[in-house]
Structures are given as structure tokens and as C-alpha cells.
């Protein structure tokens, strides 16, 4: 596994597929760890987590024990909670198969723990622990069992905690095996993050994700082929940004050019420029439609106008004349796309100039839609010889890469990035950032970031931040930097207490950048 700078490579951040986790456990067993010891460790760690949350336990606990080792984990949890004085009941919806699980359940009943003959009442206030299948799920699950769980969830009668993976949910795709999966309030992820739990499709089922450490060694982690890292807001404390020399003037502190807006969508240009300014870039230039250019000095007077975008009769911007006059050596990054509208004929005529832009090119929104409708299509990226970043949402991605079909969003992003040698931000509730070798998956983000205009703000912010870094480091910038920029944008939106419109979030971004750099200098 290649070194990744941020965040740390550890069990809290690494993301794996179901089989990778099973292989890791089997390696532990082959090295001498008894299966019973690992089961005890998992059960004890989870029971400690629960005992710190007394409010979940006060009405009693029903542990739904599955036939395999996930059920055994549940039985250990039941044992530990019972010995601490909690009211515990068991229910086994399927015949038990694994010897360890059978033995634990028998031991519990010998202690006096009630083993239910009939399904528990979903209207009761008990905490239900879903220890039915976990990470070993591979196929459709009894729909009556799932309906029983979700009846409890929907009636809001007590909480549901799923161990590792909610019953009925594929740990790799994050999609239900059939029509539905168990809806959990809390999901206790054992060992390493399962990729399916982080997908947008899993959000209705997983609830709050909490990591349960089982002591996987650094040596074992280094052997994993996984190149996917989960990032959450807790990772702000370890993020680093480039600190430029104090004697660098504005031309050495990042130069970005924003080409955005149209008569049809003038606001997109203002938002993209706001994002670039929020980054702290030394020089923000813009090429804008006349409607925006005439008024930009009143709201963003620091922006340097480098030209105007003519518009077609439908109000879409025409790029050709503006691109002819661009000197790429004057910029570290160029952002094209927010609000420019669709004009495929203009894009065809402009392609030669776009391919030759010798700087980081960031393509967003209508630029991507123009590419998907162009003669070259996604082969545009293969013909471009310089660094290119794209920022599609799911529908834009599918229009760009209709031939790519994968299990989950991470696979989609990595495959497209590898095939077309680009860096991709695949936007969603849990956005994915990827290049051809690795990916970063956001988790636990604020839903307020899914609003009109925030994508325009983000593209400008990416342009400004990348320009700053390129002005200091030279011609090459890592995709890790894109991951940091997306993370900061999402974090700022979550902390914007005065409102969540793009301009307020832009102000919050400026504060966040300054605070982060102040921390790094202290």
C-alpha cells in the first residue's frame, strides 16, 4: 500500500471490502489468535461503548443473535451487559450454526437470561441489538425479519444498534439485497470501515457510524491493498495547508482564472469568484458575461477582469473568443464551467484551445455537460496532456462516462480517474475524491452542503486553493489536496451558524483557512 499523507493510515480511516476484512481476520487466526478470543474482544469493546450510554440501556436490551459469528459477538455483548446488571433478552431468528455461538447462547441461558420463543414486540422500548449477519452477508435476507426491525424504527419505540453491517445491507455496495434493509440508529463498525456503509445508498440504514477498535497491528494494515480512506470532520485537527514565505507578493501567492456565468445563469459567476476569494489566493482574475462584468466591481472589486464572454441568442456563454486570448503562463489554475450554459458548437470550436491550456484545468457543471455532448466525449481527457480535475455530481458523471458500471461510487470514481488519467470529485452526500491510485471518502457530512450554488462556490474555492499550492510547489499538485479542499468546504458549511447560503459559507471558509494556517504556524 502506497503512502498517503492525510489522513493517517490506521483502522479509523482505512476502508475495505467485506472479503478483505474476512481475510485479515483469517490471517489473525492462522497466526494463533483463537476465534473465541477475537469474539470476546469484539463483544467487550462494544459492551463498553454501550455502557457509556446508559440512556440506551435503561429500558432493557433485546439481542437478536444470528446463526454465525456475528451472532456470537452479540451473545458476548449480552453476557457482558447482563453481568453489569442490565435486563437482557435473546432471540435467535434462525437456527444457530457456529459452535462458538451455540456455546455462548447456552451459557447465557444457564445464567438465567431469557431466550425468547417468539419475535420481540417492536412497540416495546427495549434497545434492540442487530447481531444477525454483519459483514458476512452475501444474499437476500428474510424480509419479515427486516420488516420487524423497521416497524420498531418507524414507530420510534426504542433504538436499534447494528453490529458491523445492518441486516439486509450489502457491505460492498451499500444497497439492500432486496427491497429493504434494517434501519439502525447506530452502526458499530468492527475493525475497519466497510465500504458499503459509506455510500449514499446506505444512508437510510446505517445511522451514526462508530468505530470499534479490535487491535489490528500496523504490520497487518500495511499489507492491505486498500487505497481508500474515510475522512470525517474530526480530521480537521490533522489537516495541513501550504504556508507561503512571508516575502511572497500577490503574484506568487496563487493566480487563478475563473471563466463562469452567462446571461442565463449570472449568479454562478459571483459564487465561483466568492469561492476563489475565500481561498486566500493572491490574484483572482475572471472572464465573465457582460451582465456580470458591469457590476462585479460593486460586490467583488478585488477581481481582475481579463475579458468578457459573449452570449448566444439563448443566453449561453461563448468561450471561443475568450480562450484565444488566454496566456496560460499567467495562471496556476483555470476554472471553467459554472453557469456557462450549453453551447456544443462553441465547445467544438474551443476544444483545441482547451486541450492546450498548460496549467491545472478545473472543469465543473456546464463544461462537463458540454464535453458529454461533444464529438470527442470523454476522450477529451485523454487528448489533454496537462493536469485536469473534474467535479461532477452523479448524473453529470453518468453522462460523461456511460460505459462505466461499478458496485459503488468509489469504484466509479477510481475507474474513471484511472482510465482517463484525471482527478475526480464525485459529488454526493458522502463525496468521493479519487485519482487512478487512491480515493478519499467523506463520511458524516452536513446535508446543508447539498444546496444550489454551493457547487459553484466549491469550484472557485478549489481553483484558488490549488493555485496557492501550485505557486509554491511548482507544476505538480496531489489529488490529496483536492480532498482537503472538498473537506474544508463541507466543514465550513457545517459550522456556518449565521445561515447556510453560499456567501455566508464563503465567509466561513475564509475564517477556517486563516484558523488552520494559524494553527500550523503556532
- The reported pLDDT for the residue numbered 384 is 96
- The reported pLDDT for the residue numbered 496 is 82
DSSP assignment of 115-144, as one string? E-SSPPPTTS-PEEEEESSGGG--S---HH
Distance between CA 166 and CA 205 in Å, rounded?
Answer: 7
Q: Considering only CA atoms, which of 5, 29, 25, 6 is closest in space to residue 16? A: 25
- The reported pLDDT for the residue numbered 244 is 83
Which tens digit of pLDDT belongs to each residue from 293-349?
Answer: 999 988 899 999 999 999 999 999 999 999 999 999 999 999 999 999 999 999 999
Range list for CATH 3.40.50.10260 in the chain: 15-224
Domain 15-224, CATH: 3.40.50.10260
287-296, long-range: CB < 8 A, 24+ apart: 287/257, 287/258, 287/259, 287/322, 287/326, 288/260, 288/261, 289/261, 289/262, 289/263, 289/317, 291/261, 291/263, 291/266, 292/261, 292/266, 296/269, 296/270
- The reported pLDDT for the residue numbered 451 is 56
Give yes or no for a contact between 40 and 274, defined as CB atoms under 8 angstroms apart: no
Q: Is 332 strand, coil or helix? A: coil
pTM: 0.95
Q: Is the dihedral of CA 450, 455, 456, 458 positive or negative?
A: positive
**What is the domain class of 238-521 according to CATH?**
alpha beta
Determine the straight-line distance between the first and last CA of the chain, rounded to whole angstroms: 32
Range list for CATH 3.40.1190.20 in the chain: 238-521
Distance between CA 321 and CA 309 in Å, rounded?
Answer: 8
Cα atoms in the 13 Å half-sphere on the side-chain side of 262: 22
- The reported pLDDT for the residue numbered 2 is 45
**Tens-level pLDDT at each residue, the chain (522 residues):** 445 589 999 999 999 999 999 999 999 999 999 999 999 999 999 999 999 999 999 999 999 999 999 999 999 999 999 999 999 999 999 999 999 999 999 999 999 999 999 999 999 999 999 999 999 898 888 899 999 999 999 999 999 999 999 999 999 999 999 999 999 999 999 999 999 999 999 999 999 999 999 999 888 998 887 789 999 999 999 999 988 877 776 778 999 999 999 999 999 999 999 999 999 999 999 999 999 999 998 889 999 999 999 999 999 999 999 999 999 999 999 999 999 999 999 999 999 999 999 999 999 999 999 999 999 999 999 999 999 999 999 999 999 999 999 999 999 999 999 999 999 999 999 999 999 999 999 998 866 555 556 899 999 999 999 999 999 878 789 999 999 999 999 999 988 866 668 889 999 999 999 999 999 888
Amino acid at each position: 500500500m502506497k503512502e498517503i499523507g492525510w489522513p493517517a493510515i490506521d483502522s479509523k480511516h482505512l476502508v475495505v471490502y467485506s472479503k478483505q476484512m474476512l481475510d485479515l481476520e483469517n490471517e489473525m487466526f492462522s497466526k494463533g489468535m483463537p476465534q473465541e478470543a477475537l469474539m470476546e474482544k469484539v463483544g467487550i469493546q462494544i459492551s463498553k461503548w454501550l455502557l457509556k450510554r446508559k440512556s440506551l440501556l435503561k429500558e432493557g436490551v433485546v439481542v437478536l443473535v444470528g446463526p454465525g459469528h456475528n451472532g456470537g459477538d452479540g451473545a458476548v455483548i449480552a453476557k457482558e451487559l447482563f453481568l453489569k446488571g442490565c435486563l437482557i433478552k435473546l432471540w435467535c431468528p434462525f437456527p444457530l450454526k457456529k459452535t462458538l455461538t451455540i456455546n455462548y447462547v447456552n451459557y447465557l441461558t444457564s445464567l438465567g437470561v431469557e431466550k425468547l420463543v417468539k419475535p420481540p414486540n417492536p412497540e416495546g422500548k427495549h434497545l434492540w441489538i442487530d447481531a444477525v449477519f454483519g459483514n458476512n452477508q452475501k444474499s437476500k435476507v428474510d424480509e419479515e425479519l427486516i420488516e420487524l426491525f423497521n416497524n420498531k424504527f418507524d414507530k420510534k419505540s426504542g433504538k436499534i444498534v447494528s453490529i458491523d453491517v445492518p441486516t439486509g445491507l450489502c457491505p460492498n455496495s451499500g444497497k439492500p439485497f432486496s427491497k429493504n434493509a434494517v434501519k439502525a440508529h447506530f452502526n458499530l463498525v468492527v475493525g475497519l470501515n466497510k465500504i458499503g456503509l459509506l455510500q449514499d445508498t446506505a444512508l437510510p440504514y446505517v445511522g451514526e457510524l462508530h468505530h470499534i477498535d479490535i487491535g489490528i497491528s500496523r504490520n497487518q494494515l500495511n499489507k492491505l491493498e486498500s487505497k481508500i480512506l474515510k475522512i470525517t470532520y474530526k480530521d480537521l485537527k490533522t489537516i495541513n495547508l501550504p504556508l507561503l514565505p512571508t516575502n511572497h507578493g500577490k503574484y506568487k501567492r496563487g493566480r487563478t482564472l475563473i471563466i463562469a456565468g452567462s446571461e442565463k445563469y449570472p449568479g454562478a459567476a459571483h459564487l465561483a469568484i466568492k469561492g476563489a476569494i475565500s481561498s486566500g489566493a493572491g490574484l483572482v482574475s475572471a472572464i465573465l458575461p457582460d451582465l456580470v462584468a458591469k457590476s462585479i466591481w460593486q460586490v467583488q472589486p478585488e477581481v481582475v477582469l481579463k475579458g468578457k464572454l459573449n452570449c448566444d441568442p439563448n443566453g449561453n456563454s461563448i468561450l471561443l473568443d475568450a480562450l484565444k486570448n488566454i496566456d496560460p503562463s499567467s495562471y496556476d489554475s483555470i476554472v471553467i464551467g459554472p453557469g456557462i450554459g450549453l453551447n456544443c458548437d462553441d465547445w467544438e470550436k474551443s476544444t483545441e484551445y482547451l486541450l492546450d491550456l498548460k496549467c491545472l484545468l478545473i472543469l465543473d457543471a456546464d463544461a462537463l455537460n458540454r464535453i458529454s455532448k461533444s464529438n470527442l466525449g470523454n476522450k477529451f481527457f485523454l487528448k489533454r496532456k496537462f493536469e485536469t480535475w473534474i467535479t461532477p455530481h452523479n448524473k453529470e458523471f453518468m453522462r460523461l462516462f456511460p460505459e462505466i458500471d461499478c458496485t459503488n461510487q468509489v469504484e466509479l470514481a477510481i475507474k474513471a480517474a484511472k482510465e482517463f488519467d484525471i482527478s475526480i470529485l464525485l459529488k454526493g452526500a458522502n463525496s468521493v475524491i479519487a485519482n487512478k491510485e487512491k480515493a478519499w471518502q467523506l463520511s458524516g457530512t452536513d446535508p446543508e452542503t447539498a444546496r444550489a450554488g454551493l457547487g459553484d462556490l466549491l469550484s472557485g474555492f478549489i481553483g484558488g486553493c490549488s493555485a496557492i499550492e501550485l505557486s509554491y510547489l511548482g507544476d505538480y499538485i496531489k489529488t490529496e489536496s483536492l480532498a482537503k479542499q472538498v473537506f474544508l468546504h463541507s466543514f465550513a458549511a457545517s459550522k456556518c451558524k449565521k445561515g447556510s447560503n453560499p456567501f455566508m459559507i464563503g465567509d466561513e471558509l475564509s475564517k477556517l483557512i486563516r484558523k488552520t494556517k494559524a494553527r500550523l504556524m503556532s
